A and B are shown apart, each in its own frame.
Chain A
Amino acid sequence: MPELATTLPGRPAPPFDSVGQQASARRLGMWVFLASETLLFGAFFLAYTVYRRLYPEAWAAGAQHDSLAIGTALTGVLLLSSLTAALAVAASKARAWRAVTGLIAATVGLGVFFIGLKFYEYWLHWQDGFVPALHFTHADPHLDLFFVFYFLMTLLHALHMSIGIGLWTLLGVQAHRRRLRDEAAVETTGLYWHFVDLVWLFLYPLLYLVK
């Protein structure tokens, strides 16, 4: 996780000797963290695959109950936010702080829109009685299992999105005040954001498109 700096620009936080060393440590820390995350989601995908092989009909039926339109819209929104995030990183390297602020704001806006839309979809599932354990009104236990995976995976993803939105918001406020203490933080947060987007690019076909 990137630690947001508490020192003045140009002065590395202890125990680092230089800003460059600190930046490379944070970048590496994020990559290592993402490696760990990959195994977390990977294990999820594995379990998903095992049960999809066991109950292909329930899985196909489950995906039918997801709104393809919403899923596609979510994907589009997220891809767009990845673009704005990438541009924000590029702008921070060019020290174009106005652009950085605007692009981060756009990323946050798209992220919030994603979460909102996702929860709207959850609300639709609730109305249709597809929420396992809390409000599940259908007889097929395997369909129940599909929705267990659906909710666990999308909620875990949404949790990651929320953390990302929080990080962007902090950086955005700093950039707006021209007091961005740690340029590497934009880059590492960008890395994280792209990873979370990438996870969705797997979730989208697995949860919305399976037949």
Chain B
Amino acid sequence: MTTTAPSPFAPPPEATRTTYLNAGTGLRSWLLTTDHKRIAVLYTLAITAFFGLGGVMAFLMRLELLTPPSDLFTIDTYNRLFSAHGIVMVWFFLIPSIPTTLGNFLLPLMIGTRDLAFPRLNLLSFYIFLVGGLFTLAAVSFGGIDTGWTFYTPYSTSFSQTRVFLVVMGIFVMGFSSILTGLNFVVTTHTLRAPGMTWNRLPLFVWSLYATSLIQILATPVLTLTLVLLGMERWFGVGIFDPALGGDPILFEHLFWFYSHPAVYIMILPGLGVISELITCFSRKHIFGYNWIAGSSLAIAAFGFLVWGHHMFVSGQSVYAGLVFSVLSFVVAIPSAIKVFNWIATLYMGRIYLRTPMLYAFAFIGLFVIGGMTGLIVASLAVDVHVHDTYFVVAHFHYIMVGGMLTAYLGGLHFWWPKITGKLYPEGWGIAAAILIFVGFNLTFLPQFIMGYLGMPRRYGAYAPEFQVYHVLSTAGSTVLGVAYLLPLGYLLWSLKYGPDAGPNPWNATGLEWTTPSPPPPDNFDEAPVVRDMPYAYHLEHRQFMDPDEAGALAAKKASRSED
């Protein structure tokens, strides 16, 4: 079996290569690093902690909802739980997750440069994020907040007796981190691409990060202002949003959703980019419709700014506004549909490997389509009048945020884990966890669609007994889901010590990040890379085989066929 394909499982050439991991030791070398790869690792630790925290809150809520009355916690505790769950998950997990971890790590590697354009700014972003997060955690620990993550006025400004101001401060601070990260990514993508890395050769993950960054830059300042005004009203009692003081609560909703709807695309767009990478790699095939997938990311970013009013169909805004926001909401779904179509077209005539990342990609597409289609149901005006603020909406956005974004994150994490750590994770465990997550997720959230249409309102700590059966199913599912999320945490950590060495390119994938050793050296590339190919050239002969065993099996089969 003499093949020209580089053996992906070959041991690394020398044992003591300088990598970004061993280039400096000690806490200081990590906390003051400007290396985008190390900052990505810092972010990963932080958002994993936030995810764990938000997940525990979610599970406690599901436990409370096993029975109709609020018996496990007081109703005030429940209100604080769902508020903290939303705030932690949205601002300290979903929004930063993929861009600051995988994006931070991979963007310079994928476009073939040494670092982001402003490395110190990158570190500053991390610390701003951390300060914002700690502020919020402090507020949650000392009294909590009971407004929900949406801070609707005048409840949040004039009525709530909880730590609204502290939490709002935390999010206000975190917003700057988001803006600066977006700015860094945009400038890096424009100015630091390697020779030959033209815009139409850019990996699709980079395109999605680029589109995400534009939203972060343009939407976040509006949130900043909104939170300032909210804080002013809360502290000084000046009437901005509270009608009793002469304010307008609908204006708050407009300003809030002007940020928070595009923010949904901040959360999901990077996930869409990750899936494009996984699908093509494990189909061993050029991605179908590169231009359309790249363009659809930009289209989503643009249209995403125009649909915020679909959160307000029953708020009392005018019927005409409702009609315009509804039709635009249908339009914004089309670029997403284009992506799904192109992914499936990529599978056609591919050579499909059902490895863990690919299973996550499949799970993502399925859950994303369910979330997307129910999104259109919610965008349908007359139906939304019924399902708005019910569990139907809760299920819908969890399909996008958890079923979509989190699944993509895990898929990407498995895919690039060998690059990030230099180690292989155990494949069997990976597949088992991926399947368990898919099953647990659906068991958790499918029943919520049914009870939502039945009329179960969201943010209820106590509910009518007829909904109980669905709540019990959902809680059962969340238990499975909780266990399933612990699995990767376990075996990925295990692989750090006991996993086999990965070699530079265990998937035999295209892309500049796979041309450098794993883990990469501090400056990313030993030689400045030059790009000569179109992206995703998986059709080339030497890209076809995943590992030597398979090549051997194929050769044997060919041989036996020629004997016939």
A interface list, Cβ under 8 A from B: 1, 3, 14-16, 21, 24-25, 28-29, 32-33, 35-37, 39-40, 42-44, 46-47, 50-51, 54-55, 132-133, 141-142, 144-145, 148, 152
Contacts and interface: CB of A to CB of B under 8 A. Distances in A.
Contacts of B238: 132-133, 144-145, 148
B121 A1 contact: yes
B191 A152 contact: no
B114 interface: yes
A3 B118 contact: yes
Contacts of A145: 238-240, 246-247
A9 to B, nearest CB: 20
A133 B255 contact: no
A144 B119 CA distance: 44
Interface in B192-238: 192, 217-222, 224-226, 228-229, 232, 235-238
B225 A44 contact: yes
* Binding site secondary structure of chain A: helix
B458 interface: no
Contact of A152 (B232, B235, B246): B232
B236 A132 contact: yes
Contacts of B240: 47, 51, 145, 148
B471 to A, nearest CB: 40
B191 A25 contact: yes
Given A15-B113, A33-B183, A148-B240, A40 B248 contact: no
Given A29-B187, A141-B246, A14 B119 contact: yes
B513 interface: no
From A33, A39, A51, name the one whose CB has the most chain B CB atoms within 10 angstroms. A39
A50 B239 CA distance: 13
B36 to A, nearest CB: 9
Nearest to A151: B232
B385 interface: no
A15 B115 contact: yes
B245 interface: yes
B251 interface: yes
Contacts of A28: 186-187, 190-191
Contacts of B539: none
A142 B246 contact: yes
A21 B245 contact: no
B116 interface: yes
Contacts of B255: 43, 46-47
Contacts of B118: 3, 25, 29
B116 A3 contact: no
Contacts of A21: 191-192
B108 A32 contact: no
A141 B229 contact: no
A46 B258 CA distance: 12
Contact of A40 (B115, B225, B258): B225
B246 A14 contact: no
A176 to B, nearest CB: 25
B17 interface: no
B245 A141 contact: yes
B179 interface: yes
A39 B221 contact: yes
A9 B113 CA distance: 22
A133 B235 CA distance: 9
A46 B190 CA distance: 31
Contact of A32 (B183, B232, B258): B183
Contact of B221 (A3, A25, A32, A36): A36
15 contacts: A15-B192, A25-B187, A25-B192, A28-B190, A29-B117, A39-B221, A46-B255, A47-B225, A50-B251, A51-B240, A132-B236, A133-B232, A133-B235, A145-B247, A148-B236
* Binding site secondary structure of chain B: helix
A145 B108 CA distance: 47
Contacts of B221: 36-37, 39-40, 43
Given A25-B117, A32-B187, 14 more contacts: A15-B108, A15-B114, A16-B117, A25-B187, A29-B183, A35-B218, A40-B224, A42-B222, A43-B255, A47-B225, A47-B251, A51-B248, A133-B235, A145-B240
A43 B226 contact: yes
B108 to A, nearest CB: 7
Nearest to B124: A1
Interface in B155-201: 179, 183-184, 186-188, 190-192
A153 B120 CA distance: 30
A132 B240 CA distance: 12
B480 to A, nearest CB: 42
Contacts of B114: 14-15
A36 B220 contact: yes
A61 to B, nearest CB: 15
A144 B242 CA distance: 14
Return the 8 tightest CB-CB contacts between A and B, nearest first: A133-B236, A40-B221, A15-B114, A15-B115, A25-B191, A43-B225, A39-B221, A43-B222
Interface string B363-383: 000000000000000000000
A36 B183 contact: yes
Contacts of B218: 35-36, 39
Interface in B112-168: 113-121
Nearest to B36: A15
Nearest to B219: A39
Nearest to A39: B221
B266 to A, nearest CB: 14
A152 B231 CA distance: 12
A40 B222 contact: yes
Contacts of B248: 50-51, 54
A152 B179 contact: no
Contacts of B190: 25, 28
Contacts of B258: 43
A39 B187 contact: no
From B191, B218, B219, B225, name the one whose CB has the most chain A CB atoms within 10 angstroms. B191
Nearest to B176: A36
From A15, A50, A51, A152, name the one whose CB has the most chain B CB atoms within 10 angstroms. A15
Nearest to A21: B191
Given A15-B114, A47-B255, A141-B239, A24 B220 contact: no
A134 to B, nearest CB: 8
